């Protein structure tokens, strides 16, 4: 347990101790004097010859028991040395006297060893404070590896976007923070001229660099590209200053003749879609769209590059739709938001304007000019026309088409009596019946409303009007018009029937008791008691028939032929 730090040049001295027992023993310290630097532990050792043993020992410092620990605590049986003592706490600067007293294991009595002197001195203090080296505060592209500290120990170098940093640590824990600005290379290049400076420039983070620009040929302007970005300055853009630098970048300048910039044909127009004819000369920028306009730029070449600012009014498309026998022009027009526009409505000969309306734009008609309301979205203006010419009188027999009604055909089906006839089929055929004696069936009627024959089919929207006359046959509780399929079964399609005195009367305007729409056997009752749709004796009526289903008349066979039946109260 001897601490080698306590081996000094002091002489080792033996102390002869006479015991009360039968033998003479000698006990001694491992030294007679020691100088101990402040802050170290005290280590003392006593050895005895002749195998001297003690049943207990006691160490004293000066005149009192010394706190600490013994190498061989005596508990129970006697023990032999060597006997060691070590302090657990450090001593202040001073001189101390240590002794050991032991109770002899043989013969009793006590043996005292010492005293020995111990001197505690203040150790010499040598301290340093860290100091930054010559790399401190020097702009660098890469992290510095040398000249970090003039005094102290350098830590690892930390790299950030704006600086390199490290610490110089002294022996007394006196630390000094050091740093160097982080720089980035700005590399210039020039074509057809010069850029000054011409070599790579080291620029601190977020710093800028200005270059002078000069063309090789007069009249040319610089066009700077590269990754640094920046702005021109000076008359004729003779200088270029980079944006704040955050990474290695380049500045490349090319000197070229200036070229102009002019807006394209879409400039100044009203458009309902993004413009496409942007520039007549120059390079078009991106189109910016707002609620009221489209805007863009045209940029020429050279520097300062000429720039043209262009714009088109954003509008909405107003479309038109015209019914038969007339036109509306133009067919469409782009109108600025909240603006209005006009359309010209022109009916055909013998026709007039029936109505003009818009689904969203609103507006009003004055003569043949329709003016919309404020346009805020795409919309459609629709015009319809009505016949205004001289209406010819029904000849009373055969086929007749009222002027202006290309979808209406008036025909005779029976000349008298009760019964069933096929339609389309025979005209004024009497009552041919199901056997069709002497009558050829057809899927259509051929008429000549003008100079060209027209085939009139039972297609949706076309109306066949059959002439009949009222007949008071004294049977007020009997009478009807009935439509059946060509075999006498149901029509198997939506068919409308209405009885009127004017064949041009629409289904919607017919009397409620004189019309019926059904898919089985549509019919109209002509009873007078109780009142249904009674007919006046001798008055000419028209039974109008219209197929409503789009596909019905497109099917093969006799799908557009029907059996038409009437009772005896009409002829």
Is 147 within 8 Å of 192 (Cβ atoms)?
Answer: no
DSSP codes of every residue in 170-238: -TTSBEEEEEEEBEEEEEEEEESEEEES-S-EEEETT---EEEEEESSTTEEEEEEESS-EEEESTTS-
The answer to whether residues 19 and 146 belong to one domain is no
What percent of the chain has a predicted confidence (pLDDT) above 90?
33
Residue 396 lies in a domain: no
The answer to whether residues 547 and 432 belong to one domain is yes
Q: Regarding beta strands 83-86 and 43-48, do their DSSP bridges make them parallel or antiparallel, or are they unpaired?
A: antiparallel
Residue 458 lies in a domain: yes
The answer to whether residues 143 and 115 belong to one domain is no
Residue 221 lies in a domain: yes
- pTM for this model (two decimals): 0.38
Residues 6+ apart with CB under 8 A from 46: 27, 28, 29, 30, 81, 82, 83, 84, 100, 113
- CATH number, domain of 65, equals 2.60.40.10
The answer to whether residues 441 and 470 belong to one domain is yes
Residue 465 lies in a domain: yes
The answer to whether residues 476 and 426 belong to one domain is yes
In this structure, of 88-92, 145-149, 345-349, 555-559, the range with the lowest mean pLDDT score is 555-559
The answer to whether residues 431 and 547 belong to one domain is yes
In tens, the pLDDT along 154-170 reads 999 999 999 999 999 88
The answer to whether residues 176 and 220 belong to one domain is no
**Phi first, then psi: what are they for 4, rounded to 5°?**
-65, -25
The answer to whether residues 44 and 93 belong to one domain is yes
Structure confidence at residue 20 as a pLDDT band (50, 70, 90): very low
Q: Is 186 exposed, middle or buried (0-12, 13-18, 19+ CB in 10 A)?
A: buried
Rg of the chain (C-alpha set): 62
Residue 418 lies in a domain: yes
In this structure, of 32-41, 137-146, 486-495, the range with the lowest mean pLDDT score is 32-41
Residue 126 lies in a domain: no
- Residue 367 is predicted with a pLDDT of 93
Residue 400 lies in a domain: no
Enumerate helices (H) and strands (E) in the chain, giving the number of each.
0, 50
In tens, the pLDDT along 471-487 reads 655 566 678 888 887 77
The answer to whether residues 158 and 59 belong to one domain is no
The answer to whether residues 328 and 370 belong to one domain is yes
Evaluate if residue 174 carries a pLDDT over 50. yes
Structure confidence at residue 515 as a pLDDT band (50, 70, 90): very high
Which residue, 241, 257, 273, sits at the end of a domain?
257
Range of the domain at 171: 131-181
The answer to whether residues 415 and 459 belong to one domain is yes
Structure confidence at residue 327 as a pLDDT band (50, 70, 90): very high
In tens, the pLDDT along 246-299 reads 999 999 999 877 677 889 999 999 888 899 999 988 889 999 998 888 999 998
The answer to whether residues 459 and 561 belong to one domain is yes
Q: How many domains does the chain have?
A: 6
Structure confidence at residue 557 as a pLDDT band (50, 70, 90): very low
More confident residue, 556 or 16: 556
The DSSP letter of residue 520 is S
């Amino acid at each position: 347990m001897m601490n080698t730090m306590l081996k000094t040049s002091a002489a080792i001295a033996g102390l002869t101790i006479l015991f009360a027992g039968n033998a003479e023993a000698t006990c001694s310290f491992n030294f007679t004097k020691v100088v101990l630097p402040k802050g170290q532990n005290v280590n003392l050792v006593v050895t005895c010859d002749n195998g001297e043993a003690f049943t207990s020992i006691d160490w004293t410092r000066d005149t009192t028991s010394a706190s600490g620990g013994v190498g061989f605590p005596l508990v129970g049986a006697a023990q032999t040395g060597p006997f060691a003592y070590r302090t657990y706490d450090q001593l202040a600067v001073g001189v101390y006297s240590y002794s050991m007293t032991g109770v002899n294991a043989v013969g009793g009595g006590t043996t005292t060893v010492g005293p020995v002197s111990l001197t505690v001195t203040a150790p010499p203090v040598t301290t340093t404070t860290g100091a930054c080296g010559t790399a401190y505060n020097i702009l660098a592209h890469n992290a510095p590896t040398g000249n970090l500290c003039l005094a102290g120990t350098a830590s690892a170098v930390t790299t950030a976007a704006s600086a390199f940093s490290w610490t110089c640590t002294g022996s007394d824990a006196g630390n000094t923070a050091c740093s160097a600005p982080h720089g980035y290379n700005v590399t210039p290049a020039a074509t057809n001229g010069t850029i000054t400076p011409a070599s790579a420039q080291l620029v601190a983070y977020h710093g800028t660099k200005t270059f002078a620009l000069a063309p090789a040929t007069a009249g040319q302007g610089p066009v700077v590209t590269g990754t640094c970005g920046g702005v021109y300055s000076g008359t004729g853009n003779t200088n270029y200053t980079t944006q704040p630098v955050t990474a290695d970048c380049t500045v490349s300048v090319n000197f070229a003749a200036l070229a102009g910039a002019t807006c394209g044909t879409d400039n100044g127009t009203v458009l309902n879609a993004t413009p496409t004819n942007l520039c007549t000369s120059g390079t078009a920028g991106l189109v910016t769209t707002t609620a009221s306009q489209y805007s863009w730029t045209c940029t020429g070449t050279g520097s300062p590059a000429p720039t043209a600012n262009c714009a088109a009014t954003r509008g909405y498309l107003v479309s038109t739709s015209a019914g038969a026998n007339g036109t509306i022009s133009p067919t469409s027009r782009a109108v600025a938001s909240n603006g209005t526009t006009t359309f010209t409505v022109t009916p055909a000969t013998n026709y007039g304007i029936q109505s003009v309306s818009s689904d969203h734009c609103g507006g009003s008609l004055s003569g043949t000019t329709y003016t919309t309301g404020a346009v805020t979205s795409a919309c459609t203006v629709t015009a319809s026309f009505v016949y205004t010419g001289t209406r010819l009188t029904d000849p009373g027999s055969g086929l007749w088409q009222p002027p202006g009604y290309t979808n209406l055909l008036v025909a005779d089906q029976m000349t008298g009596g009760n019964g069933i006839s096929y339609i389309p089929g025979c005209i004024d055929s009497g009552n041919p019946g199901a056997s069709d004696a002497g009558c050829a069936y057809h899927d259509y009627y051929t008429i000549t409303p003008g100079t060209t024959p027209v085939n009139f089919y039972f297609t949706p929207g076309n109306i066949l009007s059959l002439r009949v006359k009222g007949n008071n046959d004294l049977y007020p509780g009997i009478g009807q018009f009935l439509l059946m399929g060509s075999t006498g079964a149901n029509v198997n399609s939506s068919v409308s029937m209405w009885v009127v005195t004017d064949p041009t009367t629409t289904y919607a305007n017919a009397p409620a008791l004189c019309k019926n729409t059904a898919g089985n056997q549509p019919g109209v009752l002509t009873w007078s008691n109780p009142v249904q749709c009674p007919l006046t004796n001798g008055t000419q009526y028209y039974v109008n028939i219209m197929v409503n289903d789009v596909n019905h008349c497109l099917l093969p066979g006799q799908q557009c032929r029907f059996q038409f039946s009437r009772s005896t109260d009409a002829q």
